[in-house]
């Protein structure tokens, strides 16, 4: 099936868009950056393949703009961007194509994201290595970059000291508890913050004495 362009008009404040009406009653709104200008003109006949190519070009343009806007607000991992764009209904292949382009342009870098996120998270929410590793994995960062980032941030942080400081703060909220119940609550709190069992055991036993 062929569609003939019956009208083609520039729209938008800066005439950024082309509004195209076809002979079959269908229409398209295209970002001018998505298509070659002289490819379209009134009276031109488009095959179904041509028509679908226009739709794909427009989707690629939309993905590109939305991805850059997300990155302008804050850093993202590739996995985060892919998940957010997928929820908007874009085709997986088009998403990956755009993310590869953005990475080549230097706007998307999972290694830099891992280092930035790890440092920020640790300052905002002191925790053990396991929790930070989980948060980075959840954002789709590769194991290699996770280990590099964790080795960097924890080279300046002592998990045992962090666990003790957190335990001191938490004990103020647990004043009504004592003995085994207090130990259990403190253990679970530190475990959920990602500290290893040996450090938790040592800190809990140091901070809470059995009656």
171/183 Cα distance (integer angstroms): 10
β-strand partners of 30: 18
User: CB of 82 within 8 A of CB of 99?
Assistant: yes
Residue 131 makes CB contacts below 8 A (sequence gap 6+) with 192, 193, 194
112/141 Cα distance (integer angstroms): 11
State the Cα angle at 194 between 71 and 198, rounded to 5°: 155
User: CB of 15 within 8 A of CB of 31?
Assistant: no
**pTM for this predicted structure:** 0.81
Q: Among candidates 186, 194, 155, 184, which has minimal Cα distance to 169? A: 186
The per-residue pLDDT for 16 is 81
198/190 Cα distance (integer angstroms): 11
Question: Which phi and psi angles does 21 have, rounded to 5°?
Answer: -110, 140
User: CB of 58 within 8 A of CB of 30?
Assistant: yes
Residue pLDDT tens, the chain, 211 long: 788 888 888 887 777 888 889 888 888 888 878 776 557 888 888 888 888 888 899 999 999 999 999 999 999 999 999 999 999 999 999 999 999 999 999 999 999 999 999 999 999 999 999 999 999 999 999 999 999 999 999 998 899 999 999 999 999 888 888 888 999 999 999 999 999 999 999 999 998 876 5
The per-residue pLDDT for 37 is 57
The alpha carbon of residue 200 and the mean position of all alpha carbons in its chain are separated, in whole angstroms, by 31
35/58 Cα distance (integer angstroms): 8
Q: Which two tokens stand for residue 156?
A: 């300046």
Q: How far apart are the first and last CA of the chain?
A: 85
Own/partner contacts of 7-10, CB < 8 Å, gap of 24 or more, are 7/42, 8/40, 8/41, 8/42
Indicate the SS3 state at residue 4.
strand
């Amino acid at each position: 099936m062929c569609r003939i362009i019956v009208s083609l008009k520039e729209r938008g404040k800066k005439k950024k868009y082309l509004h195209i009406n076809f002979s079959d009653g269908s229409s398209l709104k295209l970002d001018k950056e998505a298509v070659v200008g002289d490819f379209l003109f009134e009276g031109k006949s488009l095959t179904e393949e041509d028509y679908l190519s226009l739709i794909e070009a427009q989707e690629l343009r939309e993905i590109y703009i939305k991805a850059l806007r997300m990155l302008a607000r804050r850093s993202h991992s590739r996995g985060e961007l892919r998940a957010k764009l997928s929820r908007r209904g874009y085709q997986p292949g088009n998403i990956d194509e755009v993310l590869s382009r953005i990475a080549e342009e230097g706007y998307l870098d999972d290694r830099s994201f891992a280092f930035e996120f790890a440092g920020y998270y640790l300052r905002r929410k002191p925790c053990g290595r396991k929790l930070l590793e989980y948060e980075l994995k959840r954002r789709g960062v590769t194991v290699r970059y996770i280990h590099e980032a964790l080795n960097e941030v924890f080279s300046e942080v002592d998990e045992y000291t962090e666990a003790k400081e957190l335990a001191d703060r938490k004990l103020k909220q647990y004043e009504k508890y004592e003995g085994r119940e207090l130990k259990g609550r403190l253990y679970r709190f530190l475990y959920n913050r990602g500290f290893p069992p040996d450090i938790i055991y040592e800190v809990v036993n140091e901070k809470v004495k059995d009656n």
